[in-house]
């Protein structure tokens, strides 16, 4: 079942001499439960692609469909709510809310919907993430690997159709990086969530079903596990 | 770029937006101090103008003989010296013109430079002993003019002829006493042989000293040189006080208050700038880490931060000072507009040097002091911070937000406010500080309303009494007759009598009021109501410290053979002319007064005039009164005096209300600044929240939650601390003197809380716009 469909996506930054075409007619789609990895050199347009797919950034042309819904046809408020309910984000620098403890950080997208979090689901995630004994800790009291695991929990709590991860292991040591990769694979395999991950590390693409390369704003598929 | 410090200039260009807030803080701090000092300076100038107008610009007067006078005038410190003497000051020694007692002032022409009242409006100063200057009263009532001969009868009966050389304006005292007064030169004055008449005569040498002279020291030297007793030396206390040449405690207190306020404003300024610089530095921790990483020493980082601070000062301090000066101009303009005659000497576009200097100095000192702490913080940034790329991005929170109590957006807002105890204390403290200052200072307004009351609705322009002091002899019908005379606005007649309380033989003073006067006195009502007194069914007592006629009780008074019990149905805080301060006073209706005393006329007839009344109309009114009362009246013209007191009131009011406005401004700017700072510091976090799925509306609700938390606690602490202080100050400066009972200052509270709430709305609006415009990707990726 097709979850994500990207059609002729274009993104341009700047004008005149400073004009940079970050994405050039990018099109691809992903099925439910697929794990995709995006590789490319610095400045190739990987993050721009991820930000456009996630609705954080607006494309100049093209469309992004998630579960059949056109992301850019929505208004700002609608898109925000759609994003928090259907897309999970994982950033390189975690971006946890320092004032919320582990449990609250994980439940944050649900709290934004003014919903009472399902405690069983939170407990299950904490268990899977190996953070049960750290549930009342604040981000400042956690290691980098633990913080990223919290960020993964936050991305998964709403059962999003799509999980976008921008260099999730970029700030982590090899052990923590492996933990994170295991979790993302589990999300894809176990929970049937579509995962699209940006990485520099070609070794990490081994776990991916599909690998894409972005070069000067153009996307090409390298096939499975590059 | 030749030096690493040149980076300051380049960095400033790159971070224009971020530095704007810090610059704004410096501008505000300088502005507030400039306004406070400038206003104090302006108040001094206006007080000086008032003092010179009413008392003259002389510094000291010495009762010395001619020989000592000559030595005195030879002293190098003396700039102007003039002899001055008066005769018949109390208008009872027998110096008369056309049968009217006449006061005589004799002085040298130089006195006119020191005393404006001695100035001659028409003609010239008498050059010989046979020449004279008359006042406007003589000119108007006798039709005398310059060049005429006029005869003055001496107490022993001799009539001396003088040639009129000029006309002097009526002084407030002359107008009020309806008196004749003449000026002669000092030789003419000495030729009056007062010793033959037994009239008191004293020649005083009025002196104005040169600038930069230690006046108190010089006076002490002169006194010891001539062996003068203290009573032989007079000082122009008010002028000397305003020149800082007097040890008078009032003025010292005045400057102490201004000083304390300035210190408080400086502290507020330091907090504002420090907070702003702290947050600016916190946002650039990685940058300083990178500098350290590249080899900058801690000292170099400190120097960099300090230079950056001074760089901001370059534009911000002149802007703050200029803004302060413009506000002072507006205040001066207001004073001139309110009382053009009195404040014409006040410069509209004058620059208050002390104000501007204080503002600039405080700006520099504040910035340098405020730069110390962030500079040290910046220097402490480890080079590793730059390498990890994570420094300064995660604030360390000590406890988690309470998401069970509030919705998550509100909970985070409340947590942002209360998360750091130090920050919470500083911000709510500064909010509360504004309320405390406002409530404390508002008691000065209450004090002013009681102490300086020229604008009481009942204040007369002209007061008419019988010359022989006979009570209740001005016919009632005169009130009606004058009501229609052109120029008359309102007539207020009062009768006076003493009533006896038979039980202990004590007397109480009774004053009659018309219904109009009762209504005008409504503001002075401390207890009870006016209605029964207006209807003649009760009386109002007047507050005294040992009040023996309490509201709710009754006063038994003798009326002929009978004793009448009159209920006390209300109490006034004060009335303008109580017969004496030791006798209890009651106010009753005219009808009740007549029943109690059998009186058939007024003792005093107060007349309020239209604003555009002409002198001819005033003379017409006088003529009608003299016709009705047979000439035996004192026509006391209080217009000049009213104008003087009104000027003092305006000057004080502009000053006090100006201070309140500055305090309100501090509250306003503080709230706006605090919230803007907080939002600016967390912008990256907000970007992350937006990325995770927080809507703009939720983010704004979060900022609102933070602002409301600060405000609620600030207002609560401000009220808890400010109200007792307000009570204490009110009790000590108002209740103890005028008996007015303290009430919760609802209006003042409403004003300052209203200003704070308005500021909250504005404070949220700015960041709300910023949040709406924020692009998520740029924000989370920002350095």
The helix or strand, by DSSP H or E, that contains position A22, with its residue range, turns out to be: strand A20-31
Burial class of residue B749 (count of CB atoms within 10 Å of its CB; 0-12, 13-18, 19+): buried
Instruction: Report CB contact under 8 Å: A77, B697.
Output: yes
The helix or strand, by DSSP H or E, that contains position B265, with its residue range, turns out to be: helix B249-283
Q: Which two tokens stand for residue B171?
A: 């002084």
User: What integer best gives the mean pLDDT of chain B?
Assistant: 81
Q: Is the pLDDT reported for residue B2 higher than 50? A: yes
Reduced to 3 states (helix: H, G, I; strand: E, B; else coil), residue B85 is: strand
DSSP code string of B341-407: TTSTTS-TT---HHHHHHHHHHHHHHHHHHHHHHHHHHHH--HHHHHHT-TTTSPPPSS---TTTS-
Instruction: Report CB contact under 8 Å: B692, A112.
Output: yes
Instruction: Report CB contact under 8 Å: B395, A98.
Output: yes
Distance from CA of A184 to the nearest CA of B (A): 18
Distance from CA of A203 to the nearest CA of B (A): 23
B119, B52 Cβ separation under 8 angstroms: no
Asked if residue A19 belongs to a domain, the reply is no
Interface with B, mutate which of A76, A99, A140, A165 (most B CBs under 10 A): A99
Which candidate from A76, A91, A93 shows the least CB-CB separation from B390?
A93
Q: What mean pLDDT do residues B475-490 have? A: 85
Set of chain A residues whose Cβ sits within 8 Å of the Cβ of B693: 80-81, 83-85, 109, 112
CATH number reported for the structural domain that contains residue A145 in this entry:
3.40.50.300
- Convert the pLDDT of each residue in B170-215 to its tens digit: 877 777 777 889 999 888 888 876 555 555 557 889 999 988 888 8
* ipTM of the complex as predicted: 0.82
DSSP code string of B477-536: HHHHHHHTSTTEEEEEEE-EEEEE-TTT--EEEEEEE-HHHHHHGGGGEEEE-SHHHHTT
Burial class of residue B441 (count of CB atoms within 10 Å of its CB; 0-12, 13-18, 19+): buried
Which candidate from A89, A93, A140 shows the least CB-CB separation from B396?
A140
pLDDT for position B783? 42
Asked if residue A7 belongs to a domain, the reply is no
Q: What mean pLDDT do residues B590-594 have? A: 89
B197, B163 Cβ separation under 8 angstroms: no
Strands (E), B188-347: 204-209, 233-235
C-alpha dihedral sign at B721, B723, B726, B727: negative
Q: Is the pLDDT reported for residue B478 higher than 50? A: yes
* Surface of B (303-342) touching A: CB under 8 A: none
Locate the chain B residue with the closest alpha carbon to A136: B400
- Nearest CA to B338 out of B618, B346, B607, B170 is that of B346
Locate the chain B residue with the closest alpha carbon to A152: B692
Set of chain B residues whose Cβ sits within 8 Å of the Cβ of A198: none
Locate the chain A residue with the closest alpha carbon to B776: A56
* Surface of A (166-195) touching B: CB under 8 A: 171
Q: Which two tokens stand for residue B214?
A: 């230690």
A190, A171 Cβ separation under 8 angstroms: no
Lowest mean pLDDT segment, chosen from B207-216, B220-229, B595-604, B656-665 = B656-665
- Convert the pLDDT of each residue in B126-166 to its tens digit: 988 889 999 888 888 888 888 989 999 888 888 889 999 99
Instruction: Report CB contact under 8 Å: A140, B776.
Output: no
The sheet that has A69-70: what strands, in order across it?
A: A20-31, A2-13, A61-66, A69-70
pLDDT for position B279? 62
Beta strands at B562-572 and B539-542: parallel, antiparallel or unpaired: parallel
Burial letters B5-37, b for 16+ CB under 10 A, else e: eebbeebbeebeebbebbbbbbbbbbbbbbbbb
B584, B508 Cβ separation under 8 angstroms: yes
pLDDT for position B193? 61
User: B694 — contact with chain A (CB < 8 Å)?
Assistant: yes
Set of chain A residues whose Cβ sits within 8 Å of the Cβ of B390: 93, 171
Interface with A, mutate which of B413, B416, B692 (most A CBs under 10 A): B692
Set of chain B residues whose Cβ sits within 8 Å of the Cβ of A57: 775-777
CA atoms within 13 A on the CB side of B176: 11
Which candidate from A77, A96, A99 shows the least CB-CB separation from B695?
A77
User: B693 — contact with chain A (CB < 8 Å)?
Assistant: yes
User: B405 — contact with chain A (CB < 8 Å)?
Assistant: no
Set of chain B residues whose Cβ sits within 8 Å of the Cβ of A136: 400
User: B282 — contact with chain A (CB < 8 Å)?
Assistant: no
DSSP code string of B139-205: HHHH---TT-EEEEE-TTS-EEEEEEEEEEPPPHHHHHHT-EEEEEEHHHHHTT-HHHHT-----EE
* pLDDT above 90 coverage of chain B, percent: 9
Beta strands at B78-87 and B100-107: parallel, antiparallel or unpaired: antiparallel
Instruction: Report CB contact under 8 Å: B691, A95.
Output: yes
Instruction: Report CB contact under 8 Å: B400, A138.
Output: yes
- Convert the pLDDT of each residue in B715-734 to its tens digit: 999 999 989 988 988 887 77
In terms of pTM, does the model score above 0.80? no
Tokens 């008691």, residue located: B443
Distance from CA of B760 to the nearest CA of A (A): 23
Lowest mean pLDDT segment, chosen from B281-285, B350-354, B623-627 = B281-285
Distance CA B535, CA B85 (A): 54
Cβ-proximal residues to B376 (8 Å cutoff; 6+ apart), any chain: B302
Q: What mean pLDDT do residues B638-646 have? A: 76
- Convert the pLDDT of each residue in B661-691 to its tens digit: 877 877 787 788 778 878 877 887 888 888 8
Lowest mean pLDDT segment, chosen from A186-190, B432-436, B735-739 = B735-739
User: B664 — contact with chain A (CB < 8 Å)?
Assistant: no
Nearest 5°: CA angle at B499, between B497 and B503?
170
Instruction: Report CB contact under 8 Å: A77, B685.
Output: no
The residue that leads in pLDDT, B659 or B356, is B356
Q: Which two tokens stand for residue B27?
A: 């501008």
Set of chain A residues whose Cβ sits within 8 Å of the Cβ of B415: 99
Distance CA B423, CA B674 (A): 10
CA atoms within 13 A on the CB side of B559: 16
Tokens 């347009």, residue located: A45
pLDDT band at B230 (very low <50, low <70, confident <90, very high): confident
DSSP code string of B715-773: HHHHHHHHHHHHHHHHIIIIIHHH-PPP---HHHHHHHHHHHHHHHHHHHHHHHHHHHH
CA atoms within 13 A on the CB side of B138: 31
Which candidate from B390, B693, B777 shows the least CB-CB separation from A109?
B693
Instruction: Report CB contact under 8 Å: A111, B403.
Output: yes
User: B691 — contact with chain A (CB < 8 Å)?
Assistant: yes
In order along its 226 residues, chain A shows pLDDT tens digits of: 889 999 999 999 888 888 889 999 999 999 999 999 999 888 888 889 998 999 888 899 999 999 999 998 998 888 888 988 899 998 888 888 888 899 999 999 888 888 888 899 899 889 888 899 999 999 888 888 899 889 999 998 988 999 999 888 887 788 888 888 888 888 888 888 999 999 888 888 888 899 999 999 999 988 655 4
Instruction: Report CB contact under 8 Å: A101, B400.
Output: yes
pLDDT for position A11? 92
- Nearest CA to B407 out of A108, A97, A87 is that of A108
Distance CA B330, CA A92 (A): 56
Q: What are phi and psi of A61, to 5 degrees?
A: -155, 165
User: B701 — contact with chain A (CB < 8 Å)?
Assistant: no
Q: Is the pLDDT reported for residue B392 higher than 50? A: no
* Surface of A (71-110) touching B: CB under 8 A: 76-77, 80-81, 83-85, 89, 91, 93-101, 104, 108-109
| Alpha helix ranges (H) inside B389-485 | 408-418, 421-451, 477-483
Asked if residue A24 belongs to a domain, the reply is no
Set of chain B residues whose Cβ sits within 8 Å of the Cβ of A85: 693
Cβ atoms within 10 A of the Cβ of A95, count? 24
* pLDDT above 70 coverage of chain B, percent: 86
Which candidate from A54, A83, A111 shows the least CB-CB separation from B408?
A111
Structural domain of residue A100, as residue ranges? 31-59+74-223
Instruction: Report CB contact under 8 Å: A108, B390.
Output: no
User: B697 — contact with chain A (CB < 8 Å)?
Assistant: yes
Instruction: Report CB contact under 8 Å: A80, B695.
Output: yes
Nearest 5°: CA angle at A151, between A147 and A152?
115
User: A10 — contact with chain B (CB < 8 Å)?
Assistant: no
- Nearest CA to A36 out of A215, A203, A199 is that of A199
Asked if residue A18 belongs to a domain, the reply is no
Interface with A, mutate which of B391, B392, B396, B400 (most A CBs under 10 A): B400
Beta strands at A35-39 and A194-198: parallel, antiparallel or unpaired: parallel
Q: Is the pLDDT reported for residue B219 higher than 70? A: yes
Structural domain total, chain A: 1
Set of chain A residues whose Cβ sits within 8 Å of the Cβ of B698: 112
Q: Which two tokens stand for residue B627?
A: 């016709």
Asked if residue A126 belongs to a domain, the reply is yes
Instruction: Report CB contact under 8 Å: B412, A97.
Output: yes
Q: Which two tokens stand for residue B665?
A: 């401004």
* Surface of B (410-439) touching A: CB under 8 A: 412, 415-416, 419
Asked if residue A17 belongs to a domain, the reply is no
CA B113 centroid distance within chain:
28
Q: Which two tokens stand for residue A24?
A: 């050039």
Cβ-proximal residues to B711 (8 Å cutoff; 6+ apart), any chain: B431, B671, B756, B757, B760
Distance from CA of A115 to the nearest CA of B (A): 9
Reduced to 3 states (helix: H, G, I; strand: E, B; else coil), residue B268 is: helix
pLDDT band at B459 (very low <50, low <70, confident <90, very high): confident
Lowest mean pLDDT segment, chosen from A31-45, B99-113, B171-185, B259-273 = B259-273
* A·B CB contacts under 8 A: 96
- DSSP conformational letter for A208: -
Q: Is the pLDDT reported for residue B391 higher than 60? A: no
| Residues in a beta bridge with B511 | B496, B587
Distance from CA of B656 to the nearest CA of A (A): 45
Question: Furthest-apart CA pair in chain B: how many Å?
Answer: 109
């Amino acid at each position: 079942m097709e979850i994500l469909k990207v059609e002729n996506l274009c993104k341009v930054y700047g004008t005149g001499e400073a004009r940079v075409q970050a994405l050039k007619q990018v099109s691809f789609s992903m099925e439910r439960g697929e794990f995709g990895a995006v590789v490319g050199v610095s400045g190739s347009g990987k993050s721009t692609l991820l930000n456009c797919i996630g609705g954080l950034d607006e494309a100049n042309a093209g469309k992004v469909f998630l579960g059949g819904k056109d992301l850019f046809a929505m208004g700002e408020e609608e898109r925000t709510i759609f994003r928090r309910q259907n897309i999970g984000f994982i950033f390189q620098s975690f971006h946890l809310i320092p004032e919320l403890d582990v449990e609250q950080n994980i439940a944050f997208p649900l709290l934004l919907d003014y919903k009472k979090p399902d405690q069983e689901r939170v407990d299950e995630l904490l268990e899977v993430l190996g953070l049960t004994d750290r549930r009342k800790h604040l981000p400042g009291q956690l290691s980098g690997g633990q913080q990223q695991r919290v960020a993964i929990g936050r991305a998964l709590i709403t059962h999003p159709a799509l999980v976008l991860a921008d260099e999730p292991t970029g700030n982590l040591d090899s052990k923590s990086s492996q933990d994170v990769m295991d979790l993302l694979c589990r999300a894809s395999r176990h929970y049937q969530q579509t995962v699209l991950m940006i990485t520099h590390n070609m070794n990490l693409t081994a776990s991916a079903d599909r690998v894409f390369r972005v070069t000067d704003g153009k996307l090409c598929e390298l096939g499975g596990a590059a | 770029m030749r030096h690493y410090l040149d980076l300051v200039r380049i960095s400033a260009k790159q971070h224009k937006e971020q530095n704007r807030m810090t610059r704004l803080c410096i501008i505000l701090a300088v502005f507030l101090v400039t306004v406070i000092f400038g206003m104090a300076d302006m108040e001094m100038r206006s007080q000086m103008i008032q003092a010179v107008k009413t008392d003259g610009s002389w510094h000291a007067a010495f009762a010395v003989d001619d020989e000592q006078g000559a030595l005195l005038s030879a002293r190098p410190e003396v700039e102007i010296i003039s002899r001055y003497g008066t005769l018949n000051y109390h208008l009872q020694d027998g110096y008369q013109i056309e049968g009217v007692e006449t006061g005589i002032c004799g002085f040298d022409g130089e006195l006119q430079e020191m005393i404006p009242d001695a100035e001659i409006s028409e003609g010239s100063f008498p050059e010989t002993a046979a020449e004279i200057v008359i006042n406007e009263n003589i000119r108007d009532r006798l039709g005398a003019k310059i060049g005429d001969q006029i005869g003055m009868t001496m107490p022993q009966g001799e009539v001396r002829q003088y040639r009129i050389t000029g006309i002097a304006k009526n002084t407030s005292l002359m107008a009020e006493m309806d008196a004749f007064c003449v000026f002669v030169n000092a030789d003419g004055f000495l030729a009056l042989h007062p010793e033959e008449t037994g009239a008191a005569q004293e020649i005083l040498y009025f002196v104005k000293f040169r600038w930069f002279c230690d006046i108190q020291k010089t006076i002490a030297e002169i006194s010891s040189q001539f062996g003068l007793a203290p009573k032989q030396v007079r000082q122009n206390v008010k002028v000397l006080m305003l020149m800082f040449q007097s040890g008078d405690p009032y003025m010292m207190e005045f400057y102490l208050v201004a000083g304390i306020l300035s210190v408080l404003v400086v502290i507020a300024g330091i907090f504002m700038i420090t907070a702003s610089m702290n947050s600016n530095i916190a946002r650039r921790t990685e940058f300083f880490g990178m500098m350290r990483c590249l080899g900058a020493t801690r000292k170099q980082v400190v120097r960099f931060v300090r230079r950056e601070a001074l760089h901001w000062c370059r534009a911000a301090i002149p802007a703050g000072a200029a803004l302060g000066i413009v506000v002072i101009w507006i205040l001066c303009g207001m004073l001139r507009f309110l009382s053009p005659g009195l404040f014409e000497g006040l410069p509209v576009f004058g620059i208050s040097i002390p104000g501007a200097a204080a503002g600039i100095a405080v700006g520099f000192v504040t910035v340098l002091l405020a730069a110390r702490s962030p500079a040290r913080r910046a220097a402490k940034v480890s080079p590793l911070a730059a390498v990890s790329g994570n420094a300064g991005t995660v604030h360390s929170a000590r406890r988690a937000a309470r998401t069970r109590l509030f919705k998550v957006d509100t909970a985070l807002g409340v947590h942002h406010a209360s998360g750091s105890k130090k920050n919470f204390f500083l911000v709510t403290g500064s909010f509360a500080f504004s309320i405390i200052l406002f409530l404390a200072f508002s008691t000065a307004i209450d004090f002013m309303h009681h102490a300086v009351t020229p604008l009481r609705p009942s204040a007369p322009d002209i007061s008419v009494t019988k010359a022989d002091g006979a009570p209740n002899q001005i016919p009632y019908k005169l009130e009606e007759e004058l009501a229609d005379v052109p120029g008359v606005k309102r007539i207020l007649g009062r009768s006076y009598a003493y009533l006896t309380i038979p039980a202990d033989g004590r007397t109480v003073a009774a004053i009659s009021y018309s219904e109009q006067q009762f209504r005008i006195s409504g503001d002075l009502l401390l207890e009870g109501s006016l209605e029964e007194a207006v209807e003649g069914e009760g009386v109002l007592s007047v507050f005294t410290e040992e009040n023996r006629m309490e509201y709710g009780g009754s006063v038994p008074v003798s009326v002929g053979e009978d004793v009448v019990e009159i209920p006390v149905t209300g109490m006034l805080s004060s009335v303008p002319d109580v017969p004496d301060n030791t006798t209890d006073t009651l106010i009753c209706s005219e009808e009740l007064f007549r029943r109690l005393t059998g009186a058939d006329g007024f003792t005093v007839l107060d007349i309020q005039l239209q604003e555009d009344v002409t002198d001819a109309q005033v003379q017409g009114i006088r003529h009608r009164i003299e016709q009705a009362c047979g000439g035996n009246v004192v026509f006391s013209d209080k217009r000049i005096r009213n104008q003087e007191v009104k000027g003092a009131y305006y000057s004080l009011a502009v000053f006090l209300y100006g201070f309140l406005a500055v305090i309100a401004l501090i509250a306003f700017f503080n709230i706006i600044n605090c919230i803007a700072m907080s939002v600016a510091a967390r912008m990256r976090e907000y970007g992350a929240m937006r990325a995770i799925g927080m809507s703009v509306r939720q983010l704004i609700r979060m900022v609102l939650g933070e602002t409301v938390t600060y405000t609620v606690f600030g207002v609560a602490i401000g009220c808890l601390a400010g109200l007792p202080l307000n009570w204490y100050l009110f009790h000590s400066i108002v209740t103890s003197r005028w008996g007015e009972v303290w009430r919760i200052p609802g209006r003042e509270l409403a004003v300052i809380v209203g200003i704070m709430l308005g500021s909250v709305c504005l404070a949220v609006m700015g960041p709300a716009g910023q949040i709406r415009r924020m692009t998520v990707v740029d924000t989370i990726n920002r350095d």
